[in-house]
Structure 1
Amino acid sequence: MKKGFRIFKRKLKKIKKLIISEEYLKLIEYILFLIQKNIEILVDKNGKKTIILEKTPCKRGEVFIADFGFGIGSEFRYKHYCVVISVNKNTAVVIPFTSKSKKGINLGIIQKLQSQRNSNQTETYALVHSIRSISRARLFRPRIDGKRRYIKLSGNQMDLLDNEVKKILTKLST
């Protein structure tokens, strides 16, 4: 183990010479993220080493918090709200949400996503261009004001998303 760590440190020093300090810090952050995720997966609550990939039950149209992990470039990273578009055995295709960018599809104000403590009504935008497939183990039910929420988009909201996905994937401009 010690020999492996020494080799790792040597490799990191070589990398540090090749890249700028900002990129080096991102690399270290990414390595720490990977170590933490592996610890979470391999060690259960009793301290036994087992692989734990609990698949969250989910359905089309439900809103979750997804842990997108560490992104590269402009990819989504960390935790964001998202909607499930389709579910396979171990994966789900999701569209992430944001409240900051008006580049996405405006879904309006999703009341169940609003905290009672926060009086500001925030509009939700679906970033259809960032659609991606993730493991269902990355999905978590949102907790708002300490309570787990089961949030589902309306049929109209899902139709908006479906039409935009069709446009993006088939490059139709209707």
Structure 2
Amino acid sequence: MLKKLHENKDLVREMNRQLMELQKIIENMDEKRGRIFIEWLETQNKYLVWEETFDPSYLRAYKRSEIVLAHFGFNVGAEFGGMHYAVVIRDSSKNNPVVNVVPLSSLDENETEQDVHKDSVFLGTIEGLNEKKAVAIPNQMRPISKIRIFKPKKAKDGVFKLTSEQMDLIDEKIRRMYTKLRKDPENRS
């Protein structure tokens, strides 16, 4: 049986030192950022507890093009964070504890397709989801634990999907950003 952390006095001492340091850092954050970080700590604490007994087979299988609502966390720098929709880019069986996603965002009312960053993909509206114009962010593509997914969780839950055309746009952007592959000879880029 593995020893618990509290049984190692040196680790407990270091943990307390780091927690005190973290508290100082949080206290010096601006209020909005501090609130977001504290909310993330609450979520992270839940994940640490859930992780002990997490069994992905109780969740649904996720299919390419399905949209999930997931918490990307509180991250450093320009890494994508917070609660956002994302599109599944590769099928993930019930037993797989992770799913590969591309985060989605939406344009503000006064923004147009021309305002979309060159590394993002304008998708237009997503049928049934909301009336907002959506954008995929392939440069933030990543695997996430299924623990991070808030919905859909079960096979009976409603699912929103991107169209084949929308997925093709994302695939093409990923191909251009991350590979040296040329388009198929009939559609040379």
Scaled by the length of structure 1, the TM-score of the pair is 0.70
What CA deviation, in whole Å up to 9, does each residue of 1:42-87 have, x standing for no partner? Answer: 6xxxxxxx61243442101111111212211111112110100013
Q: Tell me, yes or no, if structure 1 residue 68 matches structure 2 residue 68.
A: no
| 1:6–1:126 Cα change, 3 Å | same
Shift of residue 128, structure 1, vs aligned partner:
1.0
Residue 93 (structure 1) aligns with: 100
Equivalent residues of 1:69, 1:78 under 8 A apart: yes
Which of 120, 124, 127 is residue 134 of structure 2 equivalent to?
124
Which of 161, 172, 177 is residue 152 of structure 1 equivalent to?
161
Residue 108 (structure 1) aligns with: 124
Shift of residue 164, structure 1, vs aligned partner:
0.6
SS at match of 1:86: coil
State how far apart, in whole Å, the 2-side matches of 1:35 and 1:156 are. Answer: 39
Letter in 2 for 1:90: P
Equivalent residues of 1:81, 1:97 under 8 A apart: yes
State how far apart, in whole Å, the 1-side matches of 2:148 and 2:18 are. Answer: 31
State how far apart, in whole Å, the 1-side matches of 2:69 and 2:142 are. Answer: 14
Residue 85 (structure 2) aligns with: 81
| 1:12–1:134 Cα change, 3 Å | closer
Shift of residue 33, structure 1, vs aligned partner:
4.2
State how far apart, in whole Å, the 2-side matches of 1:71 and 1:138 are. Answer: 14
Aligned residues: 156
Letter in 2 for 1:167: R
Structure 1 residues not aligned, in runs of 5+: 43-49, 115-120
Residue 138 (structure 1) aligns with: 148
Equivalent residues of 2:47, 2:147 under 8 A apart: no
Equivalent residues of 1:112, 1:149 under 8 A apart: no
Scaled by the length of structure 2, the TM-score of the pair is 0.65
| 1:151–1:15 Cα change, 3 Å | closer
Structure 2 residues not aligned, in runs of 5+: 1-5, 108-114, 183-188
SS at match of 1:36: helix
Equivalent residues of 1:110, 1:124 under 8 A apart: yes
- Of 93-102 and 155-164, more deviation after overlay is shown by 93-102
Identical pairs, percent: 29
Shift of residue 151, structure 1, vs aligned partner:
1.0
Q: Tell me, yes or no, if structure 1 residue 34 matches structure 2 residue 44.
A: yes
SS at match of 2:89: strand
| 1:51–1:21 Cα change, 3 Å | same
Shift of residue 126, structure 1, vs aligned partner:
0.3
Letter in 1 for 2:64: R
State how far apart, in whole Å, the 1-side matches of 2:76 and 2:42 are. Answer: 15
Equivalent residues of 2:54, 2:147 under 8 A apart: no
State how far apart, in whole Å, the 2-side matches of 1:18 and 1:127 are. Answer: 30
Shift of residue 110, structure 1, vs aligned partner:
1.1
